[in-house]
Structure 1
Amino acid sequence: MNKYVLAVDIGASSGRLMLGSIHEGKLVLDELHRFSNSIVKKGQYYCWDLHKLFVEIKQGIKKCQDVQVRPESIGIDTWAVDFVLLDENGNLLTEAVSYRDDRTDGVMEEVFQKIIKERIYLETGIQFQKFNTIYQLCALKKSNPESLDKADKFLMVPDYFHYLLTGKAVNEYTNATSTQLVNAFTKKWDKQLLDAVSIKPEMFQDIKMPGTILGDVKEELAEEFGFNLKVVLPATHDTASAVISVPEHDETIYISSGTWSLIGVENKFPICVTKALDYNFTNEGGIDYRFRFLKNIMGLWMIQEVRRNYDNEYSFADFVELAKAAKNFQSIVNVNDDRFLNPDNMIIAIQNYCAETNQEIPVTPGEVAKCVYDSLVECYVAAIDEIEEIFEKKFTKINIIGGGCQNELLNQLIADATKKQVFAGPVEATAVGNIVSQLIALGEIKDVHEARKLIKHSFDVKGYEAAQPI
């Protein structure tokens, strides 16, 4: 009888619960429940509605009864850096403020007055972004120091959901590293760094690795669901889960393509050299203490917002076709410009950038989409050049994973621009990585190496090379 596990994968615009099992030597996924997600304004801050999300998680779990499946375990992954603080009774002291909120504007530079930038990087290996958790905590210390004084537990978003399920508070490793507060070498919270920014270390929990079995869900939840199930930590940082599913594992650059584009390579040790700092690469934690050496690039968030600004009149497939028709449009924007992080109107932000840089202004939906796709590709090419310079070698393959790998135009543009072989798939990379982490913990798969062989055997991967598909 097949063992089923349940992966909860929540991104910036949607979440889903996926059942996973091994059937006839292949990994099989079935979507059980899907729901929307977005930031909402609460007071002066943009926040995530964690109560709504947990209601959706529970609703999805209950649907197991409809398909007559009782999963062995469940694990939750989300985006990185965002968190909540709990008091000694487990009550929320803070909202889960989104990384897209502007409360951290200027805070990173203030932190550099207390501890030099180079030291932070040498100890943590993490890319400097104004919304990293360290700067969010420092912003909170300025606006609401009482919440930090009362805080008994610091939990990142998936840690909090696991806490709601089990009552057990831990910080999972892959997501903890994104805080820029974990020492890359000791793999523990960096107390010297916390002292430097006057954040008390006592509220941080023990760091646990993907594959840790937290235990059963609370008794009252088991009654509500109609069955019991274990909670297993996956790689709770969605990119860490996605990278587990890269089938072309050896000698490949990966692009995890979704709301964000994460481009990099998997490594066995952190690279904290000056050149990596200069190019602002990160060394985020991965499964088995591997490191994801990567750069975080504004991704398909831009086209998601463009679609919203056009009142969802066009599908993502429509934008691809419209962009093809606008093939002669050539304006480029810097996708990592802060103006694109959370603008009131993405189309106007793109048009203003083009006007300020004396380029042709995109007017039609096709021109706007073409501008976004070309701009992403230009940023990918620059990041790949930097990776090859740091590693002093050329890579011949790029593996694109995640929902964005369905964009065949973008895949082809990447192949044309880099002159490298491009492999697209699996689409459900994050859910796949989440599922195999649980199956490894349950003894159904031996290790990551075996998991990647299974993934390669289970999912179609399409190839592209410059000028035409392989």
Structure 2
Amino acid sequence: MGKYYLAVDIGASSGRHMLFHMSDGKIRMEEIYRFENGMVSKDGKLLWDTDKLFREIVSGMKECKKLGKIPVSMAIDTWAVDYVLLDENDRLLGDTYGYRDHRTTGMDEEVYKCIPEKELYSRTGIQKAIFNTIYQLTADRIKRPDVLRSAKTFLMIPDYLNFLLTGNKASEYTNATTTQLVDPETKKWDKELIRKLGLPRDIFLDLQLPGNEVGKLRDEIKEEVGFDCSVIQCASHDTASAVMSMPDPGDDGLYISSGTWSLMGVETKKVLSRECDREKNFTNEGGYDYRFRYLKNIMGLWMIQSVRHEADDQLSFAEYASLAKEADSFPSLVDANDDRFLSPENMTEEIKRACKESGQEVPQTPGEIAAVIYKSLAKCYGNTVKEIISNTGADYKAVHIIGGGCKNRYLNQLTADATGLKVLAGPSEATAIGNAMALMIREGELKDLSGARNVVRDSFEIEEFNPNSRRIIKC
């Protein structure tokens, strides 16, 4: 058997350890460990339990030893924008906030006192989202200045987890770009912008590209898991890794990274930060090999995940999709991008309220609720395709749906109908695959990104959905 590579992929609702190796020219993958994740509500705050996350990472690593499949290297990816602050002794300072916490309410106006909104977008190319790191750090400056004054190091979540594994600190480029504090031209921290915002400039480490080796495991970790390996920085923003695995996109690099969030966009070689891009709230996040992901954040499967939890997880996601298909004729739709769905007390009731307030029929059954969600997402996808075509001047023949959401065949067909484009669905474990691709490219088992994408196309099943001209969702 060849070399093994461990991709630790941690999303906002779950995490998984995936082992990869090459065999007969194809990428082979097996899941060896999975765990639940989610923000913890404490004293009215929504927080991440980073200690628990780290314990889960180590537990999953132990499975490699049990299986006798020791990785030569490993990498961790997570969601974007959230971070930790460390003191002069590398100890965690204060709480680790989750992006759905409401402490950033009003922080956009505080930022715009320092730099006008239009200038900020033109300077960074990053969309306005109230949970962006720039607003979270501004909340720190105003609401917990003592913590910010004591901070000596700023690390995004995957960088912090790498630090716990190795004892070495390093900041990775793709995730850093989501902070809205990176200059897209220099690909470095925008220290002048950071100064304007009244934030400490010396807490930000130099940015490293995917493929950078952070170090080997600390002795105590090595002893606990039973082996040593290199800890590498992949494209640690999970969407950056997911987009890497888009199979052989050619000129049709239009994608939806479908999971808790739906990230819909295209790959570009340059930043598009014009007024038309800002008005439509597109972002330009850094990708592998200095590509940019010109995309829009859409609320995604968070809505159905929340509805499912509110019903005590009695139904599977497949069952919700099946019930939604049965209730396909239910007419009501909501704006899936409305902030009201970001962190409501009860998603089911919020959807019902939105339908009632807009004078539409109120969904009652699980199938009707699910149909509203899926059809509303598809409508957003259709609108977003039109905006992308208008802003890029390009035509697209297909939409690549990657990530866990690609397994929802009902939503895939709705997407084909709403966009009028062929849908190519897969791979489902896109983020973990992209994570491993960075490891394999570094090791020389895959030549480069283009070659690796060709291998992905040949290694994983891709399902095709075509628009039904008799049933186009109006956008």
- TM bin, normalised by shorter chain, reads over 0.9
Amino acid at match of 2:250: D
The equivalent residue for 1:180 is: 180
Q: 1:227 is paired with a residue of what secondary structure?
A: coil
Q: By how many angstroms is 1:43 displaced?
A: 2.7
Amino acid at match of 1:432: I
The equivalent residue for 1:459 is: 460
In structure 1, runs of 5+ residues without a counterpart are none
Q: Is residue 32 of structure 1 aligned with residue 32 of structure 2?
A: yes
Per-residue CA deviation, residues 281-314 of structure 1 (Å, 9 max, x unaligned), is 0000000010000001100000000111111121
**Distance of 2:108 and 2:373 partners within structure 1:** 28
CA contact 1:80–1:237 (8 Å) conserved in 2 = yes
What pairs with 1:28-427 in structure 2 (closer than 5 Å)?
28-252=28-252, 253-427=254-428
CA contact 1:96–1:157 (8 Å) conserved in 2 = no
Q: By how many angstroms is 1:95 displaced?
A: 2.0
**Distance of 1:42 and 1:351 partners within structure 2:** 28
**Distance of 1:59 and 1:125 partners within structure 2:** 39
**Distance of 1:176 and 1:342 partners within structure 2:** 24
Amino acid at match of 1:319: Y
Per-residue CA deviation, residues 156-209 of structure 1 (Å, 9 max, x unaligned), is 100100011111111100000000000111111111111111001100111000
CA contact 1:123–1:185 (8 Å) conserved in 2 = no
CA contact 2:381–2:418 (8 Å) conserved in 1 = no
Would the alpha carbon gap of residues 310 and 33 (structure 1) be closer, same or farther in structure 2, given more than 3 Å must change? same
Per-residue CA deviation, residues 74-126 of structure 1 (Å, 9 max, x unaligned), is 10000000001000101000222000000001111221122111111111100
Q: By how many angstroms is 1:401 displaced?
A: 0.2
CA contact 1:265–1:293 (8 Å) conserved in 2 = yes
Amino acid at match of 2:412: N
CA contact 1:12–1:259 (8 Å) conserved in 2 = yes
Q: By how many angstroms is 1:228 displaced?
A: 0.8
Q: By how many angstroms is 1:133 displaced?
A: 0.1
Q: 1:112 is paired with a residue of what secondary structure?
A: helix
**Alignment TM-score, normalising by the size of structure 2:** 0.97
CA contact 1:175–1:236 (8 Å) conserved in 2 = yes
The worse-fitting range, judged by mean Cα deviation, of 106-115 and 24-33 is 106-115
**Distance of 2:394 and 2:447 partners within structure 1:** 32
CA contact 1:232–1:441 (8 Å) conserved in 2 = no
Q: 1:63 is paired with a residue of what secondary structure?
A: helix
Per-residue CA deviation, residues 368-412 of structure 1 (Å, 9 max, x unaligned), is 000000110111111110000011122111000000000000000
**Distance of 2:269 and 2:263 partners within structure 1:** 18
**Distance of 2:131 and 2:370 partners within structure 1:** 27
CA contact 1:248–1:399 (8 Å) conserved in 2 = no
Q: By how many angstroms is 1:72 displaced?
A: 0.3
CA contact 1:151–1:203 (8 Å) conserved in 2 = yes
CA contact 2:46–2:98 (8 Å) conserved in 1 = yes
Aligned-pair Cα RMSD in Å: 1.0
The equivalent residue for 1:438 is: 439
Amino acid at match of 1:355: K
The equivalent residue for 2:473 is: none
Q: By how many angstroms is 1:316 displaced?
A: 0.7
The worse-fitting range, judged by mean Cα deviation, of 115-124 and 80-89 is 115-124
Q: By how many angstroms is 1:251 displaced?
A: 2.2
The equivalent residue for 2:10 is: 10
Stretches (4+) displaced over 3 A: none
**Alignment TM-score, normalising by the size of structure 1:** 0.98
Q: 1:72 is paired with a residue of what secondary structure?
A: strand
Per-residue CA deviation, residues 251-298 of structure 1 (Å, 9 max, x unaligned), is 221000000000000011111111111111000000001000000110
Percent pairwise identity: 50
**Distance of 1:420 and 1:144 partners within structure 2:** 48
**Distance of 2:173 and 2:466 partners within structure 1:** 36
**Distance of 1:327 and 1:14 partners within structure 2:** 29
Amino acid at match of 2:53: L
**Distance of 2:95 and 2:439 partners within structure 1:** 29
Q: By how many angstroms is 1:44 displaced?
A: 3.2
Amino acid at match of 1:273: R
Amino acid at match of 2:148: L
**Distance of 2:354 and 2:111 partners within structure 1:** 29
The worse-fitting range, judged by mean Cα deviation, of 126-135 and 216-225 is 216-225
CA contact 2:84–2:157 (8 Å) conserved in 1 = yes
In structure 2, runs of 5+ residues without a counterpart are 470-475
Q: 1:64 is paired with a residue of what secondary structure?
A: helix
Q: By how many angstroms is 1:32 displaced?
A: 0.9
CA contact 2:420–2:467 (8 Å) conserved in 1 = yes
